Structure 1
């Protein structure tokens, strides 16, 4: 191992993850189930033993667990992961029961109580649901329970799916105010190329977005039982890091080291400040109902001066939204620079855009998006 790699394995980011009090751990389907479907009891038991050991040292843990659909494959004699939504939901309804029972029994050996929390994307897109999930998770932790979170595959449709539990883990990390996020899969680190290529090597630390330049990551898993891949893990890490949460990515086989000295895998340093729950929801969880196009002056006001968006700085409107909906704010190049809660209906704005406040009727002389309801994305 080179001196550079040794330095990376004793970095401030790794020290912060090792010392973290509240940790979210995400485990992938391929690390919990067999290729034929069904739970791998030995793997699940080993994971729980590692988590319990960390908790015995005073940490609080939230487990985001994949595996419900995969665990239902064998009992239903499906042969392989189903592709149609109805069969996926049926497999999940069987697999979730097996998964919850297995976790409850395994954690009980350490006198730990499990609380199952099933979420759909709708539960974080809708502000009221987001607050409810926040309260439930915090209460479980305060009661000493281990929240086990999974996407509610039995009712989730294509329109309201997270797509993978990596993104869900990043959202949950902020929901619970985590000090660190650990992503466990079947790959031991982020590589600078295809890990099956002998010339590729592990990337030990990502300190900024520029460190990812030139690194190609896949788009899907290779096990045949999961939906995530390295691309989804990197994106989830970037979401968490942008909200001030450091991330460690490694394989489930190295979970003990990951939750101990944190000297394995790839770490992603926190790149942004801790965000309020509302700003994080706006930036990463809420579903946008439309888009406002801004001139350069408005972009400067929103991003750098953190001012409210006024009608004078808007050049175009897209979508059929209502006042109170979340919309994207795009600059002259078309790239989205922020998200916010709009104060007008889409039908009202065409007559207002580009006009100064003194040119508008008194009842319309207000911010289109208030500064308190803005979340910059750059």
Structure 2
């Protein structure tokens, strides 16, 4: 275990949450459901008490809340989260209104107005949608509203969905330039092993390297959520790498976390903000194929930050169309980048190793384009 991960986060860093003017808080389904099934009023009201107090103290609060599908299970007579997309969408459609009604009632008890904001991956990967989402959230915050954000499960598909609300929360934090991201679940911290076996709490993470060798769990046995600790850690790393500190802890620790107390696992800032579209491409895009590059092309992409040309590609695999996301690897198979490809997979084999000038002369000027433009390419720290 890296000693950095065992050390406590600097007091000033954690205490910054106590005075942060804009915070994104994410809560998972498992933290909101009761033993009998459905949404627990006690759990929801306890969280709302904490968030409403923070809003009334002057901070802007954005809540990213799972639970729509879980809320829809009981009315539909379902014992567990369904596996097929159509039934998940039906449960979300029934449950989202129920969930928002509970939140509206609970926040109204404190005199705080809330709003519903449903997003899909497309909303944060396309420029026009991104701008509209940003404008809407900014206006709601200016009006003193607590936006309650969820993935639009009723219309999202397997191909475009975020996959879980942890990573959605990281992108929302980036979208509205939050001062901190707090990820809440039913686990109080990240540990260096199973807590039941005497593992030590990891209180502070400076970089992903601090977590090397640590086995991080997936979704729990309750069957109502999709994330687990692994997606929370990934979301925290996404935030930290884009200039937003993150804290992973339990919903029971929400008040302590927002007060800057030493709870949970703190992820320190270790990067700068970058376009949300590139965050999506790096962490959330549905990868449809692979391009393998020669050494010269790897240097051009990684060191000189150039677009990817067909001359440097040695092999192509996968089934993709123009505009799809692909992974870009070196000759050893190490994935160095993700990018949006400009050609369908069927066109590329005859283009490999050839210059764009030669291709344009033989096949037409439309083949003079880059295979992946530098603006549609993101390098990976792997």
Give the TM bin, normalised by the shorter chain.
0.7 to 0.9
Q: Residue 21 in 1 paired to residue 25 in 2?
A: no
Give the drift of 1:212. 0.7
* 1:274-285 alignment runs, 5 A limit: 274-285=273-284
Deviations 1:75-122 (A, max 9, x none): 444344444444433333332112101111222233322111123345
- Contact 1:14/1:267, CA 8 A, preserved across alignment: yes
Q: Is the 2:162–2:284 Cα contact (8 Å) retained in structure 1?
A: no
Partner SS for 1:244 = coil
Normalising by structure 1, report the TM-score. Answer: 0.88
Q: Tell me: CA distance 1:262–1:316, structure 2 relative to 1, closer, same or farther (3 Å).
A: farther
Q: Which residue of 2 aligns with 1:375?
A: 378
Question: Does residue 1:200 correspond to 2:199, yes or no?
Answer: yes
* TM-score computed with the length of structure 2 as normaliser: 0.87
Q: CA deviation at 1:250?
A: 0.5
Q: Cα distance 1:328–1:139, how it changes in 2: closer, same or farther (>3 A)?
A: farther
CA deviation vs aligned residue, 1:269-321 (integer Å, no higher than 9, x gap): 22221112333233234434433221122222212221222222111223454
Q: Say if 2:299 is the partner of 1:296.
A: no
Inter-partner Cα distance in structure 2 for 1:224 and 1:373: 37
Partner of 1:143: 143
**Residues in 1 aligned to 2:336 and 2:220: alpha-carbon distance in whole angstroms:** 30
Contact 1:32–1:44, Cα closer than 8 Å, also in 2:
yes
**Contact 2:126-2:277 within 8 A present in 1 as well:** no
Q: How far apart, in 2, do the equivalents of 1:68 and 1:343 lie?
A: 37
Task: Give the alignment of 1:220-369 within 5 angstroms.
Answer: 220-357=219-356, 359-361=358-360, 363=365, 364-369=367-372
Partner of 1:96: 96
Q: Which residue of 1 aligns with 2:115?
A: 115
Q: In the alignment, is the contact (CA less than 8 A) between 2:6 and 2:204 conserved in 1?
A: no
CA contact (8 A) 1:9 1:264 kept: no
Shift of the alpha carbon at 1:191?
0.8
Contact 2:26 2:183 in 1 (8 A): yes
Identify which range, 243-252 or 230-239, moves more after superposition: 230-239
Cα separation, 1, equivalents of 2:218 and 2:19: 32
d(CA) in 1 for partners of 2:270 and 2:58? Answer: 27
CA contact (8 A) 2:288 2:320 kept: yes
- State how far apart, in whole Å, the 2-side matches of 1:16 and 1:336 are: 36
In structure 2, stretches of 5+ residues that fail to align are none
Q: Can you give the 5+ residue segments of structure 1 that lack an aligned partner in the other structure?
A: none
What is the number of residues matched between the two proteins? 375
